[in-house]
Chain A
Amino acid sequence: MSARLAPDPAVPLVEMRDISLSFGGIKAVDGVSLDLWPGEVVGLLGHNGAGKSTLIKVLSGAYRADAGEILVNGKPTIIASPRDAKTYGIETIYQTLALADNLDAAANVFLGREILTRWGTLDDAAMENATRKVMARLNPHFRRFKEPVRALSGGQRQSVAIARAIEFDAKILIMDEPTAALGPAETRQVGDLVKQLKAQGIGIFLISHDIHDVFDLADRISVMKNGRLVGTARTSDVTKDEALGMIILGKCPPGAIPGPGAMQA
């Protein structure tokens, strides 16, 4: 907990510089640089296989980059495991949700960070209590605290995954396709939550292939293609068509800052 630093408004919350990662000779991520400021939402766009999820897993500690560096609050950091990422306040909501289906909501929310009684045993009542509080914010109708999350609906499971990320005051939130499994009402709920968290000064990486979602919520977009960064732009400076051009062709429009992966005109 002491590793967490108060955000400094003059430096980005997180800065990834020239990150590269290969799997068996294939460069999944190739020299990508990204940054994220407090209270900012950065949409990370790209086709399937563009390297978005791989890049983000480097930040969340699931993978280690072959090259490049990560700065949190301007300080170089080494993120060797998911546990390291969490000590820096980096929380991730994975596309697969990464829930243990046989455990209940509270056990999942606190997995790896259990509340213990003074005898060192699990304090399930305290964990359920905290989970009830955070779920009341996210999904007020949620009542199924005693059931394994396997029995829950897609939207309820998503709420549990989000609850796990925001319960431990995250500074940096990574949302990998947060609305892929949701209906329209639940998608709107996630959108409201993103705005609420943003207002609290949390920085959010939003990974999505729904360009409309991203334009509604994000301040900036970064586009990846074939593992490389095509470019980064403020959503106010580019149109949706231009963004599609970046995703599909790798063509960087005038309103964007081109990256190494931009098509040479």
Chain B
Amino acid sequence: MSTSAGGATPLPRDAAVARGATLRALEVDPRLLGMLGALAVIWVGFDLLSGGAFLTPRNLWNLSVQTASIGVMACGMVLVIVTRNIDLSVGAILGVTGMLIGVLQAQILPGVLGLEHPATWLVAVAAAIAVGGAIGLFQGALIAYLAIPSFIVTLGGLLVWRGAAWWVTQGQTVAPMDGRFRALGGGIEGAIGANATWIIAGLGCAAILALMWITRRRRIRYGFPARPAWAEALVAALACGAVLGAAVIANAYPLPMGIARRMAEAQGIAWPPGGLFIPHGFAIPLLVAIGVGIAMTLLATRSRFGRYVFAIGGNPEAAELSGVNTRRTLMLVFGLMGALCGIAACIATARLNAATNAAGSLDELYVIAAAVIGGTSLAGGAGTIAGAMLGALVMQSLQSGMVLLGVDAPLQNIVVGLVLVAAVWVDTVYRRRIR
């Protein structure tokens, strides 16, 4: 990357090859590493500028909650863009879905199930996924079977569903949400506590190690070159370190004193004079987003459906001639995008503890930006879920960092816009190099 040898002179081969060999042994996507580097620069930069206010457990915990909704939708947007399409309607789908489940749990379900019924949140989430998925499938059918360009269908969808969101209650905000449902949005009731956090982190590490071991064993069984043992160990250590580090941070953010006191009293624990340190632990929206990210990564890389999505993006005609049902696949991609909008609607509505018809406005642009910053090629055929989620984190970090520094809102938008363009430019240069 840092070779400034000038136009015609060849690259300093030896250094490049040696670095390439190390990276190849690790089998880590260099683009992903670049994004992690950029994220580190942003985090440290904001921390220095804000006098140490950015890299605090409290800020990082909030960052994880704020990123969740865009992160969930960005996973679906990767597949949409990989098939050479776009979805401009995701924010509007979030809006109308949020309104519908808001009305469902605030006005309809209390009459049917009773107020604060334990099943309320489940019904609301299922309804959100179903409504979002149905809207997505409908738009996908128009795109796949009637061959209307996705840009137009979803631009129309943006207007239609935003209008529909207003129509649900004639613009009135619906509040409050069900208590259990609110946990999906984070906050105090949406934190899982210290012990559960350690258990989840431990399970996460075990899953990482098991997956790496299975992959390695399979490669060795067929006699393919596997990663050298040191590389395998290093990757495993870094991955598990990241999971455990996140757990440490989440458990370093205590509940506010008043709430900790109430919890202690409820459990009959004497309140010590210095106060009690009750950690938050992981936020539920973060866990939802990570769960979606893992499921979508499996779908994209390990399933037949995902393989077809990428094949369509690489060469739609070839996919069709190979017997892939390209239309059905395309419709399902949009259906999946809609269902993820439904999940994001739950997170956004729960976090706000209210459903408003403006929820998710401009989200389509942030979601597309997250996917593109994360290395999804607008030409189709290339992109990763992990990259898109990191892209969402980069964008949210920029925004909350600027809020922390007291930067004016218009200037925030200017910075985010510039970063988007610059990130895509860097990516274009990188792609040209590896050709």
Contacts and interface: CB of A to CB of B under 8 A. Distances in A.
Interface in A74-131: 81-83, 86, 92, 94, 96-103, 107-108, 111-114, 116, 120-122, 125-126, 128-129
A62 interface: yes
A129 B222 contact: yes
Q: How large is the interface on B (under 10, 10 to 19, 20 to 34, 35 or more residues)?
A: 20 to 34
Contacts of B321: 60, 62, 82, 92, 94, 98
Q: How large is the interface on A (under 10, 10 to 19, 20 to 34, 35 or more residues)?
A: 20 to 34
Given A107-B307, A112-B324, A122 B302 contact: yes
Given A121-B303, A122-B307, A126-B222, A103 B317 contact: no
B322 interface: yes
Contacts of B242: none
Contact of A100 (B298, B303, B318): B318
A117 to B, nearest CB: 9
B323 A101 contact: no
**Which of B218, B298, B314, B324 has most chain A Cβ within 10 Å?**
B314
Contacts of B221: 125
A81 B311 contact: no
Interface in B273-321: 298, 301-304, 307, 310-311, 313-315, 317-321
B193 interface: no
B381 interface: yes
Main secondary structure of the interface of B (DSSP, over half): helix
A98 B219 contact: no
Contacts of B322: 82, 98, 111-112, 164
Nearest to A97: B318
Interface string A117-158: 000111001101100000000000000000010000000000
B314 A101 contact: yes
Contacts of A148: 314
Nearest to B219: A125
Nearest to B319: A100
A101 to B, nearest CB: 5
Interface string A51-72: 0000000001010000000000
A122 B304 contact: yes
B323 A86 contact: yes
A97 B321 CA distance: 10
B224 interface: yes
Given A111-B319, A114-B304, A102 B222 contact: no
A94 to B, nearest CB: 7
A102 B301 CA distance: 13
A99 B318 contact: yes
A114 B311 CA distance: 12
A113 B324 CA distance: 9
A108 B308 CA distance: 11
Contacts of A107: 307, 311
A100 B302 contact: no
Contacts of A103: 307, 310-311, 314
B314 A100 contact: yes
B382 interface: yes
A86 B221 CA distance: 31
A148 B435 CA distance: 11
A200 B318 CA distance: 28
A83 B323 contact: yes
Contact of B318 (A111, A126, A129): A111
Given A111-B311, A112-B322, A125-B218, A98 B317 contact: yes
A84 to B, nearest CB: 9
By Cβ-Cβ distance, the 8 closest A-B pairs, closest first, are A100-B314, A102-B314, A83-B323, A102-B381, A112-B323, A112-B322, A98-B318, A111-B322
15 contacts: A62-B321, A97-B318, A99-B315, A100-B311, A102-B381, A103-B311, A107-B307, A111-B311, A112-B323, A113-B323, A120-B303, A122-B303, A125-B224, A128-B222, A164-B322
Given A92-B321, A98-B318, A114-B307, 15 more contacts: A82-B322, A94-B321, A96-B317, A97-B318, A98-B315, A98-B322, A101-B314, A101-B315, A103-B310, A112-B319, A120-B303, A121-B298, A121-B303, A122-B307, A164-B322
